[in-house]
């Protein structure tokens, strides 16, 4: 008999890739209901998945109370498993539903640039973890930081957005992901330096940037583009829904996985790295612990987190472009596709958690 799974998240449905893919590939195995914010973004519909939206209007306190209350009310309807993407205050919901079967899923630690904010948020996370018997984590590195011994690994995956064999005669670059605290302006400056030094007789590459933040980053990038008359070479498109990314992966042939070398990112696997590789794109990636595990000699180049190193990474990609094979790149990590992760990890873990 199919089990019923309730996914609780503060992210609007479809805008956290992980839960989107769990819903997409596991809806035949389980009855899935999803509750999250309505952030006034484009609604993503998925057959077989019941989605409930909670309005995000009003002030911070009222909307968060409304979300937690909606979680509590839905849990009372009875589900075999409550799968919770961690958000502050979720232990309160757990305390009011002690008999329900919860799994607390942690995709990331605090990434706020302010040390005191990171400390307080991670301290709260450590306290709230104590209320949950079952924990799933994205990597062992996160478990090490949290000093956890009993947990299950639910790894990241990546979609395949391009089926064609790539030509690397002319390179075009693609960044997909959040802009918040990622210093993508470094990539823009490094790319600009490359353009300035490019032989005028050779074609100029294009750099497409997809993503946004709740801060200043997108406007900063767009201002730099306009101020330096780079509109033909750098496209900062803002946020694009996950299901509309295919054409960009088809038209580009180098992925950018630029992650600042900060302690709180070091053990955080990157969805975009897997998406690029699964789509046959070699990657320019910063040399974080997790990126070094997957970006090898035949899959791209590793750099440091500054514009000069990004410039050097572009030069290395041009020097190596004739050695890349998109088919070979796709076959490096067959277990990194979302289909594999959901079928071999998520489904089996849900069945174990429901026993």
CATH code reported for the domain at 3-157+337-353 = 3.40.50.2000
The reply to whether 3-157+337-353 and 173-333 are identical in fold is yes
* Residue 333: predicted pLDDT: 81
Q: What is the pLDDT of residue 67?
A: 95
CATH superfamily of this structure's domain 173-333? Glycogen Phosphorylase B; (3.40.50.2000)
Q: Which of 269, 268, 271, 304 is nearest to 285 (CA)?
A: 304
Q: List the structure tokens of 92.
A: 């309160």
Planar angle of CA 257, 159, 1, nearest 5 degrees: 140
- Exposure string for 90-111, b = 16+ CB within 10 A, e = fewer: bbebbeeeeebbbbbbbbebbb
Q: What integer pLDDT is reported at residue 201 of this predicted model?
A: 86
Query: What's the confidence (pLDDT) of residue 208?
Result: 98
Identify whether the C-beta of residue 179 lies closer than 8 Å to the C-beta of residue 217. yes
What secondary structure does DSSP assign to 161-176, as a single string? ---SPPP-SS--EEEE
Q: Specify the pTM.
A: 0.84
Nearby residues of 88 by Cβ (< 8 Å), 6 or more positions away: 121, 124, 125, 128
The region that residue 206 occupies, defined by phi over 0 for left and psi between -120 and 50 for alpha, beta otherwise, is beta
In this prediction, residue 159 carries a pLDDT of: 86
What tens-digit pLDDT sequence spans the chain (355 residues)?
899 999 999 999 988 989 999 999 999 999 999 999 999 988 998 999 999 999 998 899 999 999 999 999 999 999 999 999 999 999 999 999 999 999 999 999 888 888 999 999 999 999 999 999 999 999 998 999 999 999 999 999 888 999 889 999 999 999 999 999 999 999 999 999 999 999 888 999 999 999 998 889 999 999 999 999 999 999 999 998 878 899 999 999 999 999 999 988 998 888 899 999 999 999 999 999 999 999 988 899 999 999 999 999 999 999 999 999 999 999 888 888 999 999 999 999 999 999 8
Predicted local distance difference test score (pLDDT) of residue 58: 84
Domain definitions of the chain by residue range: 3-157+337-353, 173-333
Task: For residues 54 and 71, give the distance between their C-alpha atoms in angstroms, rounded to a whole number.
Answer: 10
Sheet of 207-210, strands arranged across = 234-238, 207-210, 173-176, 254-257, 283-286, 300-303
- Distance, in Å, from the CA atom of 141 to the CA atom of 332, rounded to the nearest integer, reads 22
Nearest to 167 by CA among 330, 327, 333, 334: 327
Query: Which residues lie closer than 8 Å to 73 by C-beta, 6 or more apart?
Result: none
Question: What pLDDT, on the 0 to 100 scale, is given for residue 241?
Answer: 82
Q: What is the pLDDT of residue 280?
A: 95
């Amino acid at each position: 008999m199919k089990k019923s799974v309730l996914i609780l998240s503060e992210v609007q449905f479809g805008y956290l890739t992980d839960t989107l893919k769990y819903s997409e590939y596991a809806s035949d195995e389980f009855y899935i209901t999803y509750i999250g914010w309505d952030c006034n973004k484009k609604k993503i519909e998925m057959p077989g998945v019941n989605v409930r939206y909670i309005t995000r209007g009003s002030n911070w306190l009222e909307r968060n109370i409304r979300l937690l209350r909606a979680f509590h009310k839905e849990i009372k309807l009875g589900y075999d498993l409550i799968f919770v993407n961690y958000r502050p205050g979720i232990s309160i919901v757990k305390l009011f539903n002690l008999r329900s079967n919860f799994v607390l899923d942690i995709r990331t630690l605090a990434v706020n640039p302010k040390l005191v904010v990171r400390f307080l948020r991670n301290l709260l996370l450590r306290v709230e973890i104590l209320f949950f018997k079952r924990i799933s984590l994205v990597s062992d590195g996160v478990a090490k930081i949290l000093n956890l011994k009993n947990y299950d690994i639910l790894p990241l995956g990546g979609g395949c957005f391009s089926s064609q064999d790539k030509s690397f005669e002319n390179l075009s670059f693609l960044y997909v992901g959040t802009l918040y605290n990622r210093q993508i302006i470094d990539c823009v400056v490094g790319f600009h330096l490359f353009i300035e030094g490019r032989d005028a007789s050779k074609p100029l590459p294009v750099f497409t940037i997809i993503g946004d933040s709740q801060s200043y980053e997108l406007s900063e990038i767009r201002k730099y583009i306009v101020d330096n008359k780079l509109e033909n070479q750098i496209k900062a498109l803002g946020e694009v829904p996950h299901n509309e990314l295919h054409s960009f992966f088809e038209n580009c042939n180098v992925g950018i996985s630029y992650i600042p070398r900060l302690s709180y990112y070091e053990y955080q696997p990157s969805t975009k790295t897997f998406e690029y590789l699964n789509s046959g794109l070699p990657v320019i990636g910063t040399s974080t612990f997790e990126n070094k595990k997957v970006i090898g000699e035949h899959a791209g180049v590793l750099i440091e987190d500054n514009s000069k190193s990004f410039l050097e990474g572009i030069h290395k990609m041009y020097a190596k472009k004739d050695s890349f094979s998109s088919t070979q790149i796709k076959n490096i990590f067959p277990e990194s596709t979302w289909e594999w992760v959901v079928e071999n990890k998520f489904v089996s873990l849900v069945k174990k958690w429901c026993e």
